[in-house]
């Protein structure tokens, strides 16, 4: 491991010492031992990039080498080649879904979270089942195929609350995929109800849960995870719950919130932990990295991942995850233009229109889009847009711009109220 890359403040980038020396007028002379070392390092980077682009497996140490040393354009080219090996048709997908938050009351008090309120706080709220069903109905009317139910760890919500809510949604809207909760919720429900993780997963599945979201992964590496979420389950427990769920037929996604003070090595370790589980289960459908948002939370924005760091991580993820099919770029946290750029760094999915989102936007994410714009963004990035479902099956491939759907209502909303534009129609 590169000691220099192990500092939280170290910027990932190619050959930083050499560039600094050149800027300072002290560039390494050709033929010196330092120049020979540099040439050997460059050759190693090139050889690892070529192997990864060809579909070969790279180690975590090699991933760290690429993350910290590979030139950005070469990294993107290799990641794009790896993406095209899987998806030679250049289709990039998006989904229409709605994040419905059932409560903001939470006992876990993550330091990066701007959404939660402690039990008893005057701004705490709970949505009843009727409200949730109304929101599902609005989403269906706008073409949503997926609901992400997510919320705080309410001290009084046991397994029965989730069973009743999921069953009610499935009764009313059997066409909606319930891609919801995550390993952290399983841990919380098991504790609240006094049952095992396995029992929680089986009962959620039987009540209608189709797959788990990757929420709660944050960073799985122990040191930074404990620093930002000391009351959350350790990373190995999060992975163990996911592994159990995969074995019981519930697939999931895996996420990464980067930029809360972790080192470059800890970033790569997060990827390694996920890949090891994926080798055993094959249950992660996609990997979704995004960046920590700094407003209104206890970390107070002291750290944040830069755009370059994010793009490099996306590219390395495509090269490292030879066993996860899909890679999503985040327009919500990094902006629409950066989202477009991820499509040239190995991403094959641009996420959701997000008919409703309250959690990340509470912490400062202000980006919004709509279906028409998302399609345009993908096409302008020289890819073919397609609406997908939760299983990444293509529902509509938008090959002809003249046939693009136009509906201003299919747009992002950052609010905890029902969509007003739907309520009045
Ligand atoms: S991230 Fe989730 S578990 Fe953590 S405080 Fe926020 S709502 Fe609670």
Which helix (H) or strand (E) segment holds residue 180: the answer is strand 177-180
Tokens of 410: 């299919």
Q: How far is CA 115 from CA 110, 223, 334, in A?
A: 10, 23, 19
CATH code at 91-423: 3.20.20.70
Which pLDDT value is given to residue 28? Answer: 55
Which pLDDT value is given to residue 363? Answer: 61
Separation of 185 CA from ligand 1 center, angstroms?
A: 10
Which pLDDT value is given to residue 422? Answer: 39
- Residue pointed to by tokens 């609005």: 138
pLDDT tens per residue across span 322-343: 999 999 998 888 888 999 999 9
The answer to whether the annotation marks 352 as part of a ligand binding site is yes
CB 112 less than 6 A from any atom of ligand 1: no
| Separation between Cα atoms, residue 188 and residue 154, nearest integer Å | 9
**CA Rg value for the chain:** 22
Q: Is the pLDDT of residue 103 over 70?
A: yes
Tokens of 214: 């990757």
Task: List the one residue out of 274, 319, 348 whose CA is nearest residue 92.
Answer: 348
The answer to whether the annotation marks 136 as part of a ligand binding site is no
pLDDT tens per residue across span 189-247: 999 999 999 999 999 999 999 999 998 999 999 999 999 999 999 999 999 999 999 99
CB 115 less than 6 A from any atom of ligand 1: yes
For residues 414, 417, 422, 425, the Cα torsion angle rounded to the nearest 10 degrees is -140
CB 107 less than 6 A from any atom of ligand 1: no
Going by C-beta distance under 8 Å and a sequence separation of 6 or more, which residues neighbour residue 184?
A: 108, 153, 215, 216, 232, 233, 238
Which pLDDT value is given to residue 24? Answer: 37
Atom of ligand 1 nearest to the CA of 112: 1
CB 292 less than 6 A from any atom of ligand 1: no
The answer to whether the annotation marks 256 as part of a ligand binding site is no
| Separation between Cα atoms, residue 238 and residue 273, nearest integer Å | 11
Would you call 227 helix, strand, or coil by DSSP?
helix
Weakest mean pLDDT among 276-285, 400-409, 410-419: 410-419
Separation of 89 CA from ligand 1 center, angstroms?
A: 39
| Separation between Cα atoms, residue 346 and residue 328, nearest integer Å | 9
- Residue pointed to by tokens 């794009």: 80
CB 293 less than 6 A from any atom of ligand 1: no
**High-pLDDT (> 90) share of the chain, %:** 73
Our mutation pick for probing the ligand 1 site, out of 103, 125, 184, counting the most ligand atoms within 8 A of Cβ, is 184
Mean pLDDT, residues 383-389: 97
Atom of ligand 1 nearest to the CA of 218: 1
Cα three-residue angle 310-256-238, rounded to 5 degrees: 165
pLDDT tens per residue across span 156-188: 999 999 999 999 999 999 999 999 999 999 999
Atom of ligand 1 nearest to the CA of 106: 8
CB 153 less than 6 A from any atom of ligand 1: yes
Our mutation pick for probing the ligand 1 site, out of 148, 153, 155, counting the most ligand atoms within 8 A of Cβ, is 153
CB 273 less than 6 A from any atom of ligand 1: no
Q: How do the domains of the chain map onto residue ranges?
A: 8-86, 91-423
Q: Is the pLDDT of residue 31 over 90?
A: no
């Amino acid at each position: 491991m590169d000691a220099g890359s192990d500092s939280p403040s170290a910027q990932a980038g190619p050959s930083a010492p050499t560039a600094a020396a050149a800027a300072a007028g002290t560039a390494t002379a050709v033929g010196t031992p330092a120049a020979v070392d540099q040439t050997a390092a460059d050759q190693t980077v090139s050889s690892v990039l070529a192997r990864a682009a060809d579909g070969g497996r790279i180690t975590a140490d090699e991933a760290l080498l690429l993350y910290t040393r590979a030139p950005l354009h070469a990294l993107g080219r290799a990641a794009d080649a790896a993406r095209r090996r899987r998806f030679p048709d250049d289709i990039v997908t998006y989904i229409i879904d709605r994040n419905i938050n059932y409560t903001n009351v939470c006992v876990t008090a993550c330091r990066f979270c701007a959404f939660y309120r402690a039990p008893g706080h005057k701004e705490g709220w709970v949505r009843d089942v009727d409200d949730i069903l109304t929101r599902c109905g609005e989403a269906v009317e706008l073409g949503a195929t997926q609901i992400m139910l997510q919320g705080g760890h309410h001290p009084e919500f046991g397994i029965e609350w989730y069973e009743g809510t999921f069953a009610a949604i499935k009764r009313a809207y059997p066409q909606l995929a319930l891609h919801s909760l995550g390993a952290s919720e399983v841990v919380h429900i098991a504790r609240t109800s006094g049952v095992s993780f396995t029992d929680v997963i089986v009962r959620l599945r039987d009540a209608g849960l189709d797959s788990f979201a990757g929420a709660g992964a944050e960073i799985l590496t122990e040191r930074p995870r404990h620093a930002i979420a000391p009351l959350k389950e350790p990373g190995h427990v999060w992975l163990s719950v996911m592994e159990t769920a995969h074995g019981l037929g519930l697939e999931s996604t895996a996420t990464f919130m980067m930029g809360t003070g972790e080192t470059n090595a800890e970033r790569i370790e997060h990827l390694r932990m996920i890949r090891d589980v994926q080798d055993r289960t094959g249950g992660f459908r996609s990997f979704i990295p995004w960046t920590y948002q700094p407003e209104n939370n206890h970390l107070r924005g002291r750290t944040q991942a830069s755009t370059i760091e994010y793009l490099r991580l996306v590219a390395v993820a495509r090269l490292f995850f030879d066993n996860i099919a899909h890679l999503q770029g985040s327009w919500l946290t990094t902006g629409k233009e950066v989202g477009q750029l991820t499509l040239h760094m190995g991403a094959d999915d641009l996420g959701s229109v997000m008919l409703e989102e309250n959690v990340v936007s509470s912490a400062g994410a202000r980006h919004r889009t709509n279906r028409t714009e998302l399609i345009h963004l993908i096409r302008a990035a020289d890819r073919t847009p397609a609406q997908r479902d939760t299983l990444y099956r293509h529902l509509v491939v938008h090959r002809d711009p003249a046939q693009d759907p136009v509906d201003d209502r299919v747009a992002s909303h950052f609010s905890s109220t029902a969509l007003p534009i739907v309520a009045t129609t």
